[in-house]
Structure 1
């Protein structure tokens, strides 16, 4: 494994909104209208005159290669939307990617072993 790769053996592949305390990565929080890949319907909020703020998007850009193992899946979760961009993701036999929230996921190269 090269210095540019991250092994999930350390359990740090959490990408969530709000940010997971055990994650090796921290997102940039952006307003929903700043992230072009997310669209929302504000009709109901406008009709009820709700003053609830729109959720922020947790934006992650991962410049290192990610290796997903059976013991440590790549997890995208949280109560808010997440946008994440990966260079290369390698999934070892039995490894899993778990997406548990609204997410926009971009992977330049996906390898399954």
Structure 2
């Protein structure tokens, strides 16, 4: 787990509301690199198996998408159905997120 202090549902619930507090706490003091990328890509949300990046893109949270990308989240990571964050942002019409993910 990425952090014992943050519930697995806290970050997604906050992201859906546009609140980046728990995401920033999750990433605080972490160094971008392969280990953090692997952890970000491994954390999955809901039955659809979304990464945090895909979930943020689905909800149009461009600031969260930017923060996750800056932290090393993989643009190419896929959901359980093989969709990338970019594909999800396109499907949802989240143009600000699409621009960041290109």
TM-score in terms of structure 2 length: 0.32
Give the number of the structure with larger relative contact order, counting CA–CA contacts within 8 Å between residues 6 or more apart.
Answer: 1
Name whichever structure is richer in helix by fraction. Answer: 2
Over alpha carbons, which structure has the higher Rg?
Answer: 1
Name whichever structure is richer in strand by fraction. Answer: 1
